[in-house]
A and B are shown apart, each in its own frame.
Chain A
Amino acid sequence: MQASFLTPTGHSDIFISAAIWTGLAALLLTLLLGLQIIAMRIGLRRRRRGEARALARWRPVLNAAIVGEIPDTLPPLRHGERLPFLRLWAHLQGSLRGEANEALNEVARRAGIDVYARTLLARGARPARLLAALVLGHLHDRPSWPLLMRMAEVPDDTLSLTALWALVRVDPQAAADYMVPLFIQREDWALSLAAGILQQAGEPAGAALARHLPLLDATRLPRGLRIAEALHVTLPAGLLASALRSEAMPVVIAALRGVRTPETIADVRALLQHEDWQVRVQAARALGRVGERSDAERLVALLGDAQWWVRYRAAQALLELPALSRADLDALRASLTDRFAADMLSQAMAESEAG
């Protein structure tokens, strides 16, 4: 009887063949993978050696520039040296300030790095574009403005925020006008990020905020006010007063956080009795910043508030009031008949001493 795949003998031949071929294929794939790993390791080592040579060649030049001794002639920047140079240069720029930055910029321009960075920004891979944006920002490179604006509008947040950081260094005034409404609108971007970038714009950022805030509705205004607070911008008293009288609680709370001067103190005092405890908390804090000695009585009244946080912030605000000495606070504490109020004031005083 001839063997066929239906017979026990033919059946096992097929499985054995399949097993052998599968094993050979797995072995081949493993060998190919091993060769690829070896090739990648060789490539990595070659790149590291090249990087080390580039750094050995350019580090003395950059170090000399940092201490004010830029060489009269620079060595030519070779093709393979450009990226290591950029990385080292950007790292040093971020670590130093003052004349050292300008010296590094001069070396970069003489080496043609500005032209190369613009090329990377336009056509490079993502990591290269990020590096290029950093470099062009440090260089205050005006010609790269259109490219950076395009990058600021991409959906990739990292690329976008890096481009914004560079834009503000290229032209703080123009960047502030563009960025302030953008940062207000993008609630998914942390306030600290927005503040960190806008801070570099300096006074233009404050001016742009003062222009934009009156135009915002109650949904956007709290974020705008929080950005102003993060930048320590002193807003016009009229603007702040208007926000403090808003019907929208988030606006009132954000405005209270931004109170830094006594022009709106009457509005702040009125909010100490607000029905919402979060408003009372911020009103107490604001009074601690701008209040007078006579406001101590108002804050003492809040030490008996139903909400723990209101009592706590009122106690802290008492410690911040000017012209209230330690002796005054001790006398105040001794005079309190409400045990909880006295305890809260004691806690705030103990925390202040503990630093």
Chain B
Amino acid sequence: MQNDTTSASILVVEDDDHISQVLRFMLERQGYRVTHMADGRAASEHIAANGPPGLVLLDVMLPYVDGFEIVALIRAQPAWREVPVLMLTAKNTERDTVRALDAGANDFVIKPFQPQELLARVRRFLRPAT
């Protein structure tokens, strides 16, 4: 699934400030527009009040509302139902990976992650804006 350049926006939901800054830097450098939410509650409110991005990059462990619930919220919103969701799961938790995919995520990246691998997985769903 590849969207056109007008949809090259990414919602990043990550509570770690340092990692969210790295993700924003990496993605904006590729030409994506990044919206960042630092916890599950803010993400839930954003999903309820806004239109869908081109892709959601979502951590599992979040304050207030975890990543699995966020995926369920996304899939429950008609406008967001088809948005690709890429989840960041912790290493050595096969259960989390399976659960992420069962919850409706399209793909996952295991933390600690390789930046180039993450970008490649994003490109699977989105073409960078030029």
**Residues of A bordering B, CB below 8 Å:** 59-60, 63-64, 66-68, 88, 91-92, 94-100
Contacts and interface: CB of A to CB of B under 8 A. Distances in A.
Given A66-B26, A91-B18, A96-B112, 18 more contacts: A59-B21, A63-B25, A63-B26, A64-B25, A66-B25, A67-B29, A88-B18, A94-B112, A95-B18, A95-B111, A95-B112, A96-B22, A96-B114, A97-B112, A97-B113, A99-B114, A99-B115, A100-B114
A64 B29 CA distance: 10
A99 B113 contact: no
B19 A98 contact: no
A98 B26 contact: no
Interface in B107-121: 111-117
A67 B25 CA distance: 9
Interface residues of B, number: 15
18 contacts: A63-B22, A66-B25, A66-B26, A66-B115, A67-B26, A67-B29, A67-B115, A68-B116, A92-B22, A95-B16, A95-B111, A95-B113, A96-B114, A98-B115, A98-B116, A99-B115, A99-B116, A100-B115
Interface string B9-41: 000000010110110011001000000000000
B54 to A, nearest CB: 20
A100 B102 CA distance: 30
Contacts of B18: 88, 91-92, 95
Interface string B75-114: 0000000000000000000000000000000000001111
A103 B115 CA distance: 12
Contacts of A96: 22, 112-115
A67 B18 CA distance: 15
Contacts of B114: 96-100
A92 B18 CA distance: 7
Contacts of A100: 114-115
A67 B16 CA distance: 19
A63 B17 CA distance: 13
B117 to A, nearest CB: 7
B31 to A, nearest CB: 13
Contacts of A66: 22, 25-26, 115
Nearest to B112: A97
A68 B114 CA distance: 12
Contacts of A67: 25-26, 29, 115
Contacts of A64: 25
Which of B22, B111, B113, B117 is the most central at the interface, judged by chain A CB atoms within 10 Å of its CB? Answer: B22
Nearest to B114: A98
Contacts of A99: 114-116
B120 to A, nearest CB: 12
The 3 tightest CB contacts between A and B, nearest first, are A98-B114, A63-B25, A97-B112
A99 to B, nearest CB: 7
B22 A98 contact: no
Contacts of B116: 68, 98-99
A199 to B, nearest CB: 9
